[in-house]
Structure 1
Amino acid sequence: MTFVDKWQQQEFPMSIADFDFLRNLAYSQTGIVLPERKKQMVYSRLSRRVRTLRLSTFSQYCHYLENNTQELPEFINALTTNLTAFFREKHHFVHLDKQICPQWLAGKQKRIRIWSAACSTGEEAYSIAMTLYGRIDLNLFDVKILATDLNTQVLETAKKGIYSAEVLPTIPANFSAKYIKTLPNTEQFSIKQRIKDLVHFKQLNLLQTWPMSGPFDVIFCRNVFIYFDSDTKQRIIKKFRALLNDGGYLIIGHAETINDFAADFEFVGHTIYRARKRKVPFSPLFQQQEAE
């Protein structure tokens, strides 16, 4: 059966032109590359929107996207992947605890800024906050964690900080005893307010203008680069470096590498990179020029 036959016989017919329109729109808006092998995923995720809008074909949905800008966030939310977990890739949090925190405690700098650049439903950002809380004296240090994501729906979940009891075992027992509370008559738990207070959730598209001026001491951007092409990846890595302090850390996912674009970084551990000293001291103006 040909592509045309197969996809025209689905519940909502989708032509080659429809798929090309959708993947080109996804790339232009998010940087996500959708090769032909992702057709079934695209169909499955967007069929819900076609059904909700009471449309009959993907051609109608493409036309709707072209003429209704309010549908774009729904389109992006439907396509983006949000797999995450508390303390996922545990070695990153061990490095934060055992290597990075002692550097801060031994130094003169009292301002600490960390960015979770694809925070999804919040587990990564809260894992960072739990690692820092009690390790860093908040009376002596000014600590803030920025957590951003493209998907507006997952951010709402992240802000609430309420999760299924099924995932509780993924949080170390010493942290869960101090930083979570079970919700009576439910199979859920919530993150305690003192941990929530360290995290600030914002919607952000990595391909668009970044309003923050930095500098950051650590940037987590894990399992994001796998969806980007080489040019997009290089552009974002350059902007990350522009926002990092000298000696700041960029932490990426287990299946990712920045070796091809890492002239400004040194490798210090599995998927952990440290920013080399820049030739010109950091300033917001310098950051804006370098990020462009």
Structure 2
Amino acid sequence: MTLLSPAPLRQNRPPLPEEPQLSESDFQRIAAFSQREFGLCQSGDKKQLVHSRLIRLLRETGCPDIATLLLRLETDPQCRERTALISALTTNVTAFFREPHHFRQLADELLRPRLEALRRGARLRIWSAGCSAGQEPCSIALTILDHLPEACRLNIRILATDIDAAMISRARRGLYSAEECSGLSAQMEREHFRTTPDGQRQIGPEAGEMIRYAALNLIEDWPVQGPFDAIFCRNVAIYFDKPTQMTLWQRFARLLAPGGLLFIGHSERVSGPAGDCLTSAGITTYRLSATPDRRMK
């Protein structure tokens, strides 16, 4: 989901009196909860990693122990620990123009052949599913602006979603450190960002106006309407078990326009029934080549 771990919820928390241990039964409860609620697969070999993340979560939220954490998670759907848990259990790095071949393919196959049609009002819809702090949808918008400077006035929209509401809030602000912008060319940074008084970089309105952000859990119902000309879902499926991955690919296929592109992470592969209608179109890229079977889950 290309999630970026957020800053601690609170600073200067007093240390826990002693480090709580994670029993096997508590680990299984956490694993079952994260699978049920978020689709995350926590195998037994991740117990030590999960333990260290939970200790950090306890300190950040002020929750006194793992037993209390579990009680809050299982009885209060609105508890702040629930939001913090998804960030604690997923740690990925995201960046502007990460895996740049995807953005070159976006330009070569979806933009350049359609420039005149888009200028005449043709529709273009792209979904960044697992957008983290916003670098991916911003990179999509910047790619479009590089070919269509007037894009924000055309029928072009980018939907950007993530399960982590804190990441969505940050993405909406469009503020990035100089280090986070290191993947941008000097020209792109100069043309599409402004420097704030505290030295951060603010994405410009031309890119921002094309993007609509929303929190969305990919294993729940999607209040999303297609068709999409491209879907980016990179480094999200690695957190899911195989059945959940196959269901995800099927659901994406149903929302792609004919010939639409699905971009996934470098260690991910489309598998299962969706392989009948999504065919390889490049490095970790798939094209909708047949009408999806509507009976697919």
- TM-score higher than 0.5 here? yes
CA contact (8 A) 1:151 1:203 kept: yes
1:99 aligns with 2:112: no
Distance 1:70 1:142, change over 3 A: same
1:128 aligns with 2:154: no
Which of 257, 275, 279 is matched with 1:266 structurally?
A: 279
Which of 57, 65, 73 is matched with 2:83 structurally?
A: 73
Matches within 5 A, 1:32-47: 32-47=40-55
How far residue 262 of structure 1 moved from its aligned partner, in angstroms, is 1.5
CA contact (8 A) 2:258 2:289 kept: yes
The answer for unaligned runs of 5 or more in structure 2 is 1-17
Q: Distance in 1 between matches of 2:263 and 2:238?
A: 14
Which of 167, 172, 176 is matched with 1:163 structurally?
A: 176
1:214 aligns with 2:226: yes
Q: 1:5: which partner in 2?
A: none
Q: 2:5: which partner in 1?
A: none
CA contact (8 A) 1:180 1:191 kept: yes
CA contact (8 A) 1:93 1:131 kept: yes
Q: Which runs of 4 or more aligned residues in structure 1 lie more than 6 Å from their structure 2 counterparts after TM superposition?
A: none
Q: 2:27: which partner in 1?
A: 19
1:240 aligns with 2:237: no
The one-letter amino acid paired with 2:54 is L
Residues 13-68 of structure 1 show CA distances to partners (whole Å, capped at 9, x for unaligned) of: 22110000001100111111111222232222222333355544322321222222
Q: Distance in 2 between matches of 1:291 and 1:148?
A: 23
Q: Distance in 2 between matches of 1:90 and 1:32?
A: 27
The answer for unaligned runs of 5 or more in structure 1 is 1-9, 281-288
Q: Distance in 2 between matches of 1:114 and 1:272?
A: 14
Q: Distance in 2 between matches of 1:52 and 1:115?
A: 32
How far residue 134 of structure 1 moved from its aligned partner, in angstroms, is 4.1
How far residue 216 of structure 1 moved from its aligned partner, in angstroms, is 0.4
Q: Distance in 2 between matches of 1:207 and 1:135?
A: 35
1:167 match: secondary structure: coil
Q: Distance in 2 between matches of 1:238 and 1:127?
A: 26
Bigger shift: 106-115 or 231-240? Answer: 106-115
How far residue 224 of structure 1 moved from its aligned partner, in angstroms, is 1.0
Identity %: 36
How far residue 139 of structure 1 moved from its aligned partner, in angstroms, is 7.7
How far residue 110 of structure 1 moved from its aligned partner, in angstroms, is 0.4
Bigger shift: 243-252 or 96-105? Answer: 96-105
Tell me how many residue pairs correspond in the alignment: 275
1:28 aligns with 2:59: no
Q: Distance in 2 between matches of 1:60 and 1:273?
A: 44
CA contact (8 A) 2:264 2:284 kept: yes
Q: 1:4: which partner in 2?
A: none
Q: 1:204: which partner in 2?
A: 216
The one-letter amino acid paired with 1:270 is I
1:182 aligns with 2:186: no
Q: Choose between structure 1 and 2 for higher RCO, CA contacts under 8 A separated by at least 6 residues.
A: 2
